[in-house]
Amino acid sequence: MDLKSLYREIINEHNLHPAHKHDLEGATADHRGVNPSCGDDIRLQLKIKDGVIEDAAFVGSGCAISQASADMMIDLIVGKSTEEAMTLADGFMRMIQGKADDAEIEALEEAAALQSVSKMPARVKCAELGWRTLGKTLAEGAAEGEGHQPHC
């Protein structure tokens, strides 16, 4: 898919009308993710019960790719176990690095459309932000912290 189609068909809708961009009441984990050099800045909130992500949301600001990617990610991970979510986050990172296999990419559902971003080095960090923050959140449990990425 060319970049304009990607924006038109997928990114714009998630960026301008995100389903999950709001504060989450009763969140059990809350983690900030930042791309300092482009100003992408999100806070990911998860409500985890018995090892399952019951609900998730994000707030923040940034470019369309960063915001849409986070929104699509939340579409995918709600209802999944933390292990499944971690596997998906790993799969997304591998896809952006051009290393994922077909099964890993297919598991990402709509977010698989961001595969073409792997060919745009300047936008890779934008696409990764939500997923990187998810990975850190799950790795650190409910601990507070920041997921900084010095360059993007």
Partner 1 sequence: MNQALQDIRGDFPILAGSDLIYFDNAATTQKPRQVLDAVVNYYNTQNANPLRGLYGLSVAATEAYEGARETVRAFIGAQSASEIIFTRNATEALNLVAYSYGRTRVKAGDNIVIAVSEHHSNILPWQMVARETGAELRYLECGPEGQYPEEQIDSLIDERTAIVAVAQVSNVLGVSLPVESIIAKAHSAGAVVVIDGAQSTPHAPVDVTALDADFFAFSGHKLLAPMGIGVLYGKETLLEAMPPFLSGGEMIEYVTREDATYAELPHKFEAGTVNAGGAVGLAAAIDYLTDIGLEAVAAHETALTARMMTALKAIPHVSILGSDDPADHHGIVSFNIEGCHPHDVASILDTDGICVRAGHHCAQPLLAHLGIGAACRASVYLYNTEDEVDRFAAALENVRKELGYGS
Q: Which two tokens stand for residue 3?
A: 């970049």
Taking the least distance from each CB to partner 1, the nearer of 39 and 98 is: 39
Among 1, 19, 120, 142, binds partner 1 (CB under 8 A): 120
The answer to whether the CB of 107 falls within 8 A of the CB of 85 is no
Taking the least distance from each CB to partner 1, the nearer of 7 and 78 is: 7
Q: Cα 61 from chain centroid? A: 13
Per the document, the length of the chain is 152
Among 13, 30, 75, 84, binds partner 1 (CB under 8 A): 13
DSSP letter, residue 81: B
How many other C-beta atoms lie within 10 A of the C-beta of residue 77? Answer: 22
Residues 15-74 interacting with partner 1 (rule: CB under 8 A): 15-16, 37-39, 62-65
12 vs 43, 58, 65, 101, CA distance in Å? Answer: 20, 17, 9, 27
Taking the least distance from each CB to partner 1, the nearer of 11 and 44 is: 11
Taking the least distance from each CB to partner 1, the nearer of 35 and 82 is: 35
Among 20, 43, 123, 136, binds partner 1 (CB under 8 A): 123
Q: Does 4 help bind partner 1 (rule: CB under 8 A)? A: yes
Pairing of the two strands 146-148 and 29-35:
parallel
Pick from 93, 95, 77: nearest CA to 128:
93
Taking the least distance from each CB to partner 1, the nearer of 81 and 118 is: 118
* In the complex, least distance from residue 11 CB atom to partner 1, rounded to whole angstroms: 8
Query: Where on the chain is the footprint of partner 1 (CB under 8 A)?
Result: 2-4, 7-8, 11-13, 15-16, 37-39, 62-65, 120, 122-123, 126
